[in-house]
Copies of this chain bind each other. A is one copy, B any other.
Amino acid sequence: MPGEFEYIAWLRSRTPADPRVLIGPGDDCAAIAPPSRPLLVTTDMLMDGTDFILTEVGPRRVGRKAMSANLSDIAAMAGVPTAVVVSVALPRDGRDLAAELYFGLRDVADAFGVAIVGGDTNSWDGKLVISVTALGEATARGPVTRSRAQPDDWLFVTGPLGGSILGHHLDFTPRVREALLLHEAVDLHAMIDISDGLAADLNHICEESHCGAVLTANAIPIADAARQLSHTSGKSPLQHALGDGEDFELAFAVSAEDGAKLLRTPPVPGLTKIGECVASGLWLEEDGQRKPLAPTGWVHQLG
């Protein structure tokens, strides 16, 4: 990546030196002090017209989203994010855009003590594409996977869901701190960040853990945006909460004992018990009836 992400080079004198970064932007690779625990790696690419509309939201919010989406994946494993590299394909004449994009990346990176250690800046005739790769470290308790949920576990989310398209998908805070506090407080059997939608992401946990889940309809915390959207979408607020993506809250499973402990003395605000794990299937319990729930969030009406 020689000579690239020039705006990083241009700006790096303004950013505090990070002792973990042995060699920063300006060489062929960045070099980082070796972590003492398992290294976490994740990557997310965002494209104009798919993940954001550049002309509507502006490059700074794009930069924030690109950084936050990656840190959210580190959070889902209860890791500590440490460093990122960023590659971009800029539309031609995108110099100002590049700087704003960088400031957006920096906003979030600074908030979480993450070093931007390098990147690759390109320009082309196409639309803006940005790809961030984030590195992190597991804590002493190890990374949290999706695979240890079991029947009778309690299921939680860290905040209200649905309607993120109205703005939250750009401006969310990745739940890095929440994940670390939860990981300290209890034994997290499985965790995921809600990017595909609550039903879909719970289904990922169920698949990896070889179990099922039943959600309690009236327990699911619904975002104001989901209510607002339901006025025009033809869907109920609950359907938005179940099916919309990019909430970037955490969904996780813990033992009933640990679940009760979380309700008594929540280590983070916004925790809600939304259901329990069962032997198999994905279900929604509503008005005393258990109905099959599709990973898309669609509820099969019975009888």
**B-binding residues in A (CB < 8 A):** 1-3, 22-23, 26-45, 47, 49-50, 73-74, 76-77, 79, 83, 85-89, 117-120, 122, 124-127, 129, 131, 133, 135-138, 143, 145-147, 192-193, 195-196, 201, 204, 208
Contact = CB atoms under 8 A, between A and B. Distances in A.
B77 A31 contact: yes
Given A45-B87, A49-B125, A34 B28 contact: no
Contact of A31 (B40, B88, B129): B40
A137 to B, nearest CB: 8
B49 A124 contact: yes
Interface centre among A47, A83, A192 (most CB of B within 10 A): A47
A43 B133 contact: yes
B43 A28 contact: no
Contact of A2 (B39, B127, B135, B204): B204
Contact of A118 (B22, B34, B42, B135): B42
A190 B128 CA distance: 35
A38 B44 contact: no
Given A85-B43, A120-B45, A192-B2, A145 B35 contact: no
A131 B44 CA distance: 10
A85 B41 contact: yes
B29 A41 contact: yes
Total identical chains: 2
Given A2-B73, A2-B196, A146-B27, A39 B50 contact: no
Given A29-B77, A77-B27, A125-B49, A201 B42 contact: no
A257 B193 CA distance: 57
Contact of A85 (B38, B42, B89, B136): B42
A40 B32 CA distance: 6
Contacts of A133: 41, 43, 85, 87, 133
A29 B40 contact: yes
Contacts of A117: 41
10 contacts: A29-B40, A30-B41, A30-B42, A32-B41, A34-B137, A35-B35, A43-B86, A47-B129, A131-B131, A133-B133
A135 B201 CA distance: 28
A43 to B, nearest CB: 4
Nearest to A50: B124
A196 to B, nearest CB: 7
B89 A31 contact: no
B79 A47 contact: no
A144 B192 CA distance: 39
A198 to B, nearest CB: 13
Contact of A143 (B31, B129, B138): B31
